[in-house]
Amino acid sequence: MSKVAVVTGGTRGIGEAISLALKALGYTVAANYAGNEEKARAFTEKTGIATFKWDVGDHQACLDGCAQVAEQLGPIDIVVNNAGITRDGVLARMSFDDWNDVMRINLGGCFNMAKATFGGMRERGWGRFVNIGSVNGQAGQYGQVNYAAAKSGIHGFTKALAQEGAKFGITVNAIAPGYVDTDMVAAVPAAVLEKIVAKIPVGRLGHASEIARGVAFLCGEEAAFITGSTLSINGGQHM
Ligand code: NAD
């Protein structure tokens, strides 16, 4: 039986590329999403990938959503924590809601998903978590204290959970993408983006498929000895 992978925020951008890459490798994929149901239906029609709606920042919704996936597709073997949002602004203009929403979804989502799935993986003696961090969690970024803190938290969460999973065949790794050509980056003003691209040694934005290939590698059997690691995929933009 093929392994079951949940990709949070798996119907768009980097998440969509991850869902497609895992499906192409023969995994049974559940693409979680939080937005528009019609778009999710269109995604399923186009790709054949089942979609499941819940808010990863809501603990109970994660428990219920993962139970639904397990009932329909089988026990969850792989979790890709990809869902994320930005609420950018300099500190003086960042609201408490901007801070709380980003922490709740970007970092809290990883905790909620682990709470819902780690126990089952432990019982079956095999599991994979791949958490999507960010170069901005490693280096910080102007106007992103909330996002940088949450992403940096993901890198710490990854190292800590890796230690808990190691003796049960569960690996926990992170990917730190640089700037990737998705809707999230399309929201950055053109003049700012030009300056960002000028600092990327490879001289371009990344493609979602380039992040997905890293995720697929970390999910595989051949990556069993890699855990607690962060793979930077950033066109050489090491800070
Ligand atoms: P995107 O905005 O295109 O996609 C984000 C996805 O997360 C969407 O599918 C959205 O529906 C989902 N999502 C948002 N809130 C959710 C919630 N509460 N519950 C469930 N799903 C939710 O962004 P993207 O560029 O594809 O980013 C994907 C991940 O990669 C994010 O974690 C992002 O922080 C990270 N990342 C992106 C870049 C980049 O340059 N694009 C760089 C570094 C890291």
pLDDT, tens digit (0-9, with 9 covering 90-100), for 207-235: 999 999 999 999 999 999 999 999 999 99
Q: How far apart are CA 103 and CA 26, in angstroms?
A: 33
CA separation for the pair 58, 66 (Å, rounded)? 12
With beta carbons less than 8 A apart as the criterion, state whether 16 and 24 touch: no
Please work out whether the CB of residue 12 comes within 6 Å of at least one atom of ligand 1. Answer: yes
- Average pLDDT estimate for 52-58: 98
The answer, yes or no, to whether any atom of ligand 1 lies below 6 A from the CB of 101, is no
- Report the catalytic residues: 147
Taking residues 94-114, report their average pLDDT: 98
Map tokens 């682990």 to a residue. Answer: 114
How many whole angstroms separate alpha carbon 130 and alpha carbon 77? 12
What average pLDDT score do residues 54-81 get?
Answer: 98
Say yes or no to pLDDT of 184 above 90. Answer: no
Band (pLDDT 50/70/90 cuts) for residue 70 is very high
Please give the pLDDT value at position 188. Answer: 87
Q: So what's the pLDDT on residue 239? A: 65
- How far apart are the CA of 82 and the centre of ligand 1, in A? 6
Ligand 1 touching residue 132 (CB < 6 A): yes
- Give me the count of residues in the chain: 239
Q: Tokens standing for 120?
A: 């089952």
Q: What does the pLDDT average to over 176-190?
A: 92
Q: Which atom of ligand 1 is nearest to the CA of 12?
A: 9
- What's the pLDDT score for residue 238? 79
Of residues 238 and 47, more confidence is placed in 47
Tell me, in angstroms, the distance from the centre of ligand 1 to residue 10's CA: 9
Name the CA dihedral angle for 93, 139, 148, 213, rounded to a multiple of 10 degrees: 140
Pocket flag, ligand 1, residue 18 (CB < 6 Å): no
pLDDT reported for residue 223:
98
Residue 84 has pLDDT above 90, yes or no: yes
For the Cβ of 13 lying below 6 angstroms from any atom of ligand 1, the answer is yes
Probe residue for ligand 1, chosen from 52, 79, 85 as the CB with the greatest number of ligand atoms within 8 Å:
85
Q: What distance in Å separates the CA atoms of residue 31 and residue 14, rounded to the nearest whole number?
A: 12
- The lowest-confidence range among 143-152, 182-191, 196-205 is 182-191
- How confident is residue 163, by pLDDT bands cut at 50, 70 and 90? very high
Averaged pLDDT for residues 17-22: 98
C-beta 112 within 6 A of ligand 1: no
Write down the mean pLDDT value for the chain. Answer: 97
Question: What is the CB-side half-sphere exposure of residue 217 using CA atoms within 13 A?
Answer: 16
Residue 191's pLDDT is 93
9 alpha carbon – ligand 1 mean position (Å): 6
**pLDDT at residue 1, rounded to an integer:** 78
